[in-house]
Amino acid sequence: MSNDSDTRRRAEAVLQFNRFYRTFLGAQRDDQPSSPFSLTEIRVLRELDSVGTQTSATLARTLALDSGYLSRILASFARRHLIARSASQADARRTFIYLTEAGRSTYASLKDAAIGGLADRLGKLTTAEQEELINAMEVVQRLLR
């Protein structure tokens, strides 16, 4: 087992990588300044798109968001007709949230723009470097789950 100073050094390396990656993502976002959505709003749209109908409590828990903050995001989405709500048949106290057609279309456009921007950046790497990067990302995900 490693000693405390080794663990702290490794933790600092993870923090350094996090700062680098946030900067990378910020630069990616700067390449697409026309998006009217924050990164958190895009995360909410992505979760609703991939998982589908769910309660705000589940959404807040999954995305580790404050329920009040999520409520404001969802209210904004509702005003823009990106989401709809329906009451649970089993429990009237529960409300389910889902993307409308406009919400799905909006998210699809955001996703396409993000993929295009990332593809441009990946295009600067060789195929071997791209594969190395993807493999390393898979290792990070596997180890941190």
| Whether residue 30 has pLDDT greater than 70 | no
**Distances in Å between the alpha carbon of 113 and those of 19, 21, 33, 92?**
23, 19, 11, 39
Positive or negative: CA dihedral 45, 48, 49, 53: negative
Residue 103, judged by CB atoms within 10 A of its CB (0-12, 13-18, 19+), counts as buried
CB 44 within 8 Å of CB 63: yes
pLDDT band at 126; cut points 50, 70, 90 = very high
Mean pLDDT of the residues in the chain: 91
User: 37-144 — its CATH code?
Assistant: 1.10.10.10
pLDDT given for residue 13 in this prediction:
95
| Whether residue 27 has pLDDT greater than 70 | no
CB-CB neighbours of 124 under 10 Å: 8
| CA 20 distance to own-chain centroid | 17
CB 34 within 8 Å of CB 110: no
* pTM beyond cutoff 0.85: no
Percentage of residues in the chain having pLDDT higher than 90: 73
The domain limits of the chain are: 1-30, 37-144
pLDDT band at 36; cut points 50, 70, 90 = confident
Edge-first strand order for the sheet with 95-99 is 54-55, 95-99, 83-87
CB 98 within 8 Å of CB 86: yes
Residue 99, judged by CB atoms within 10 A of its CB (0-12, 13-18, 19+), counts as buried
